[in-house]
Structure 1
Amino acid sequence: MPDCPDIQRLPLPYAHNLEIRALDAVSLVVMHCTELPDLATAREFGERIHYTESQTGNSGHFYIDLDGSVHQWVPLDRVAHHTRNFNAQSIGIELVNIGRYPNWLHSRHQTMAAAYTPAQLSALEGLLGFLTVRVPSLRHIAGHEDLDLTRVPAEDNPDIEVQRKLDPGPHFPWQQVLDKTRLTRLDSARPL
């Protein structure tokens, strides 16, 4: 079994409370961006308890920082909370990127302007290569924006609706990523 020694493993404090799953049930990678200013803020958010019954929160499995360092916060055999209705069968990968922070749902702040760094994209390529060997059942990759099409009232004007999730956003180089992996892109029009 190949290992990827450059993955920094620091499980979230509640990782042991997350539901266990069989790796052969995992068929999808979901790409996200943190929409937060840095990895430390993402970690702080990830450690927050959002579900009192299970004492767990929202997090991806992996985070890739601007410098290309890869951090694993949830073991692969645990179900992370990162994409509604797709958690049990997916691995969540978060790229640190400011996105729409701090006005995620403001109607006049829906443009995601920050590009991903070459170091992040190189690390993502390596991580996807590792994951497709480690989890042979992986078949698809999708963006959070492809799977969660929920629209919500804008925080500044409830008469205007905005898309709840836009990540990984317009600067994510889909073709470049797809050219380097055997995974095929999945979206809401082509469900699993």
Structure 2
Amino acid sequence: MSPAPSALRIVHDPLPYEARLDARALDRIDLAVIHCTELPDLATARRYGEEVRYGSGTGNSGHYYVDRDGAVHQYVALERVAHHVRGHNARSVGIELVNRGRYPHWLAAAHQAMDEPYPDAQIDALVALLRHLRATLPALRLVAGHEDLDTERVPASDDPSVRVPRKRDPGPLFPWERVLRAVELERLR
């Protein structure tokens, strides 16, 4: 059973560059995008999120990070556009689930399995967060996986003659049916 939205505890821990991210109106957010960090732990995900990758002094990050134990951290305010999925950032909220995914050989043809399951505590916290966002964001109606929106295939790092998905998250072990039954959102593919 998922916790009630009122039981949700969010730790606010803004990224150093949060104020440099573009501002937006909350009524423009109609999509939640589910990711997995494809990193070993929350501390590593935080370090990656803090890395400046753009001339604007910002980097890649989701709005929320959900650890394996169900702890929820907010790195970017909803009023700011985080860089988490190409082509959909302005309209979406990015939710990162801590999961190793294909780490550390993300694009290796021989390492495309995503075999770490998502713990119940993490999925329960995700459901509570999605319910909270649904109550907070008036236009939120859709949910998608990163893999649904970024379908580009790129040369494999270990064999450039083979093309692999650039993004596979949240991956084949993500419990879509369970999540969709628990929240009032439609999956966008």
Q: Which TM-score bucket, shorter chain as reference?
A: over 0.9
Deviation at 1:136, TM superposition (A): 1.6
Alignment pair present for 1:182 and 2:174: no
Distance 1:8 1:112, change over 3 A: same
Deviation at 1:79, TM superposition (A): 0.1
3-state secondary structure, aligned to 1:88: helix
Does the CA contact (< 8 Å) of 2:108 and 2:158 recur in 1? yes
3-state secondary structure, aligned to 1:108: helix
Correspondence for 1:39: 42
3-state secondary structure, aligned to 1:67: coil
Deviation at 1:3, TM superposition (A): 6.5
Alignment pair present for 1:90 and 2:92: yes
Deviation at 1:165, TM superposition (A): 0.0
Correspondence for 2:19: 16
Alignment pair present for 1:151 and 2:146: no
Correspondence for 1:81: 83
Deviating beyond 2 angstroms after TM superposition, the runs of 4 or more aligned structure 1 residues are: 2-5
Distance 2:24 2:83 in 1: 13
Amino acid of the residue matched to residue 73 of structure 1?
Y
3-state secondary structure, aligned to 2:154: strand
Distance 1:18 1:179 in 2: 33
Cα offsets for 1:91-146 (capped at 9, x unmatched): 00000000000000000100100000100001011101100010021010000000
Question: More helix per residue: 1 or 2?
Answer: 2
Q: Gapped runs of 5+ residues in structure 2?
A: none
Cα RMSD (Å) of the superposition? 1.1
Amino acid of the residue matched to residue 170 of structure 1?
P
Q: Percent identity?
A: 58
Does the CA contact (< 8 Å) of 2:8 and 2:128 recur in 1? no
Deviation at 1:27, TM superposition (A): 0.3
Distance 2:143 2:126 in 1: 12
Distance 1:76 1:4 in 2: 20
Deviation at 1:5, TM superposition (A): 5.5
Q: Gapped runs of 5+ residues in structure 1?
A: 188-192
Correspondence for 2:64: 62
Deviation at 1:4, TM superposition (A): 6.3
Distance 2:9 2:143 in 1: 22
Distance 1:108 1:162 in 2: 10
Correspondence for 1:113: 115
Distance 1:156 1:170 in 2: 22
Distance 1:5 1:115 in 2: 22
Paired residues in the alignment total 185
Distance 1:137 1:3 in 2: 20
Question: Within 5 Å, which residues of 2 pair with 1:159-178?
Answer: 159-178=161-180
Distance 1:55 1:30 in 2: 23
Amino acid of the residue matched to residue 115 of structure 1?
P
Does the CA contact (< 8 Å) of 2:36 and 2:96 recur in 1? yes
Using the size of structure 2 for normalisation, the TM-score is 0.96
Cα offsets for 1:125-184 (capped at 9, x unmatched): 110110001002101000000000011000011110000000000010000000011100
